Structure 1
Amino acid sequence: MLKITKTTETHLIELSPERIEAGAWINLVRPTADELSEAERMTGAPQDFIRSAMDPEESSRIEIEENHILVLINVPIDHESHDYEYDTIPLGIIITPDYFVTICQEYNDVIQNFSEARFRYFCTFKRTRLLFQILYRSAMLFLKDLRQMTRRSDQIEQDLRQSMKNEELFQLLDLQKGLTYYSMSLRSNKVVVERLLRLCSNPQVSHIIKFREEDDDLLDDVRVEYDQAIEMAQIQTDVLAGMMDAFASVISNNLNIVMKFLASITIVLAIPTMVASFFGMNVPVPWTAHPMGFTIVCFIALIMTIAATWVLWKKRLF
């Protein structure tokens, strides 16, 4: 999907490729090959810039070529369409002297936040500020997901305290994997933010990235949010790692308790079996002709079983 929009004083208008104007925002989501070619034609951006975000393995970075700047970051995926899987996808942002371009292979909450209902909070022709707002929004989404991960891990912990099931352990593993992806993405995005800070003071790119005084506070907010998200992800990773180790020990300890209990039961059940085996031999045994012989043998087996059970209970083997 290719969508071209531009903010005015009253609303957000949509433009066609034939009537594109300077200061427009070209947004491509799940673009086709024809839409990518159309974006190349309209912006004059290098082909590798336009198609960089289509590779899911691309890492966050900044590239500069002539009058075009590529800012590639990783953003959280839309959980509703991925069964609440925690992962990231690349989001390509290209800044040209006339246009602002975003490219992503999936719908995401970062871009969807800049809708017509919120047009008063952003300007498509203020490309540098819009870039910082997208970075800030991505950091906020990371923090939102990290808080959700914290609540999910707490719920899984409560479930594990009641019953040790593989399902809960697999959920913890999924959370740990998601935290790993988030930590890597946050650190690489933070490097992009730091380099942007240096580029803003570079006069060679001032005609593309125009840094205004009012953008300084927004950039500081972006840095603070990313620092907070990185710290929160690290804390949650340490907590999950400790939780996994603790529950692995608990599971191993529970297995030992079960095995100890089964061994004690085996010992107790072996005593009447042993007595019955002795008195069932094909040799003369006491009370063979006694009318109460069977009762006496059963009583002896019962007494020995009770004695063995008492000894094992005193040794805390039950």
Structure 2
Amino acid sequence: METIKAVFSDQNITWVSVDLERPASVLEVKEKYRLDEEFIKYALDKNERARVEYDPLTETLLVVYNLPLQEKEDNYFVTSPVTFMIQKNHFFTFTSATTNYLESMIEKIISNDPDLSQFSLLFETIFAISDRFIPLIEEVNDERNRLNKDIKQKVSNKKLLALSDLSVGLVYLSTAIRQNSVLLASLKALKFYRNLTAEEKEQFEDAIIEANQAVAMIQLASDVLKQLSDTYNNLLNNNLNDTMKVLTLWSIILTVPAIITGYFGMNIAIPYIDGSDSWIKIIGLCVLLSGWIFLFIWRRIK
């Protein structure tokens, strides 16, 4: 069954909480309140993107908003959609086991202002959700700064993989935050927006400002992390190039003694190589040519 969490406002608005992991509860809510079947499908879709829909016939507003999860998955932050529906004097929330902490946020908002309208509750909840992204972004920035200091001291695969995890986490957060921002921008074009009170519109503008702030922060964090990753990639490539230069230089130098000793090792008479000190002449020639080649190539590399 659905859970009626609260009745608030002087308009007797009922907040109905629905657990998406209980199909019977979802079906009961759908039939009892005659909710649109397509809206219910949006609520049930765990991979639904942020979206807003309005049915003028039933005066039902649907808002699917991305909510950051409290626990990390695979060492980075992820998000999950939560669904709000407003139909006349009913305020519906559809949450799962990972997103049901949203209820405590809504309870706090209602306790602070029990006379707010259902639209005010929606906008303040969206504001609170957008605000929860900011500490996550700051945590990513702190982790990035720590990794940056460690990598400067010593580069290791473990540290580079940790930096990669930060990039993946930022992709998830960035995508979710941008979808939320686009949703809020498109909400203004819907018919119901014109009927909002001045206070509700002000609360909506506050929600937009908070969402845009999160977008700006995530964009800056993404740019810095991308620049940092590119810098380390360039450094690793340069180190590899330097290593290849040294190996190439030594391979050329070591080729010279092999050629000379092979030539003088032939079983034929060779001028100036006849005596007990011949091996000294051959070694001297190898050292002389190898040294000359080393200096010649090294100057061109530099």
When the two structures are superposed, what TM-score results if normalisation uses the length of structure 2? 0.78
1:270-290 deviation per Cα after TM superposition (whole angstroms, max 9, x unaligned):
222223222322123444441
Aligned equivalents of 1:186 and 1:257: distance in 2?
42
Residue 112 of structure 2 aligns with which residue? 121
Aligned equivalents of 2:42 and 2:145: distance in 1?
38
Residue 305 of structure 1 aligns with which residue? 290
Aligned equivalents of 2:229 and 2:50: distance in 1?
30
Q: How does 1:1-318 map to 2 (within 5 A)?
A: 3-6=3-6, 23-65=13-55, 66-80=58-72, 82-108=73-99, 111=102, 113-114=104-105, 120-121=111-112, 123=114, 126-162=117-153, 171-196=162-187, 201-203=193-195, 211=197, 213=199, 215=200, 217-285=202-270, 286-290=272-276, 292-316=277-301
Number of residue pairs matched? 296
Shift, 1:264, TM fit:
0.9
Give the AA of the match of 1:251: L
1:219-273 deviation per Cα after TM superposition (whole angstroms, max 9, x unaligned):
3321211111122223333334444444443333222212111111112222222
Aligned equivalents of 1:34 and 1:149: distance in 2?
40
Aligned equivalents of 1:258 and 1:233: distance in 2?
37
Q: CA RMSD in A?
A: 3.6
Once the two structures are aligned, what percentage of the paired residues are identical? 23
Aligned equivalents of 1:116 and 1:59: distance in 2?
25
1:145-175 deviation per Cα after TM superposition (whole angstroms, max 9, x unaligned):
2223333333444455455555555555554
Greater mean alpha carbon deviation, residues 104-113 or residues 70-79: 104-113
Cα distance change, pair 216–273 in 1 and its aligned pair in 2 (3 A): same
1:31-77 deviation per Cα after TM superposition (whole angstroms, max 9, x unaligned):
22212112224433223323312213323222233043211112223
Shift, 1:30, TM fit:
4.3
Structure 2 residue matching 1:79: 3-state secondary structure: coil
Structure 1 residue matching 2:98: 3-state secondary structure: coil
Give the AA of the match of 1:252: N
Give the AA of the match of 2:211: Y
When the two structures are superposed, what TM-score results if normalisation uses the length of structure 1? 0.75
Give the AA of the match of 2:69: I
Give the AA of the match of 1:256: N
